[in-house]
Structure 1
Amino acid sequence: MVTELNDIRLVVLDMAGTTVADGGLVEQAFGVAAGELGVEPGSADHAEKLDYVRATMGESKISVFRHLFGEESLAQRANAAFENAYGELVDGGRIAPIAGARETIEELRSGGRTVVLTTGFARVTQDAILAALGWQDLVPLTLCPADAGGRGRPYPDMVLEAFLRTRAADAVQQIAVLGDTSYDMLSGVRAGAGVVAGVLTGAHEEEALRAAGAGHVLGSVAELPALLGTSADPRGAGR
């Protein structure tokens, strides 16, 4: 961990549940995908699969479906159905920013920090969310699992990809990772991030976040600037 929180130069933020409120759309879209593969709503099989989806929030969705359905062709069918269903819900205006999220990102950037948005969704879904919120130009870089080798969370790949691409930090200890799931926390810990923080606006509760490595648990992303304080980045604002 870094000694000074204000030494953080790169902030890697999750989207759904952390900066974006989607009102349980993941579970709704999963229901569509499961039905596509013949999983009966209300069945024990459906309940077991939904429990796994909840437990692995934040993970690359294709990885989740590979675990649930095994055969690659079935996983790809489920994933396509999920992405289509989620995209339709997004297009229907079913998402919104977490209160204060945009202002937080703007404040962090104006203080000299680089902000990257990451997701477990496919690029097409991430882009749909960004477009729906008008966030296409809010940050200099957005990443999905395919942008970092395909593994997604809980692996550290997207955090490290942000580190390598932005060159905003001199060491991984100058990275802060913020998310709402255990997998977000694990990815930050495994990347060696100096700050790994959870928020209580999404999938997992404080106990699960801390068990996965959260050093801080915040009410929401809006509390992050106060945690980090004034940036010590000597390279200036607006990165």
Structure 2
Amino acid sequence: MNKECSILLVDDHELVLDGLTRVLETAFAYGEIVGFSDAQQVCDEIKRKNYDLYIIDLQLKGMSGFELITSIRAVEPNARIIVATMHEEVWTVNRLVEMEVDGIVLKSSASEHIVQAVNTVLSGDRYLCPRFCHLKNQYVSKYLCRAKKMTPLTVQEKLILKYIVDGYSSREMAETLSLSENTIETHRKNLFVKLDVRNVAQLVSVALQTGSVNDKFSI
């Protein structure tokens, strides 16, 4: 990293922010490293100045890291972004892949991985830490296997599942599809059985993880 390079860090935990700053200051002799603990401050800052690299946590004050990434790219479409997060849930893994960020480092990783991520991303390549790659591969194997074992959904079940994922109530689905609420509830129960879930939250999660809504696996 040369002295013209600038990095913006954002994490709502001051200890983590200080730790990341020290790691990067130790690894790189030159450059500007600026830290923020509040997402709104970052939104104000990017209107004033563009940075060569952004390192972002997902759990922030005022808005999520995903929302902040969208805000940064609205101002700077080609912004290079690394996500540093403690969250390892499958929906987080899925969404990070969909966001196409430039680097992903899980906080359970050694500090050397954030340094590698910075070097790699500033060189124009993408960096995924070993732990993230392991989780991604693990989830792919697990949920593709689950998808193969599932009882196939009917066309109408897939349609209703999509409406459930989109947040529609049974009444709204009944009105939209010109069906009775009893028919909608019957389809709901069948979906619970076929996808082997106990509640709507699990139903939505499994639908997204296995691609039951659009026949496409998202990871």
TM-score, with normalisation over the residues of structure 2? 0.38
Which one has the bigger helix percentage?
2
TM-score, with normalisation over the residues of structure 1? 0.35
Relative contact order (C-alpha < 8 Å, sep 6+): which is higher? 1
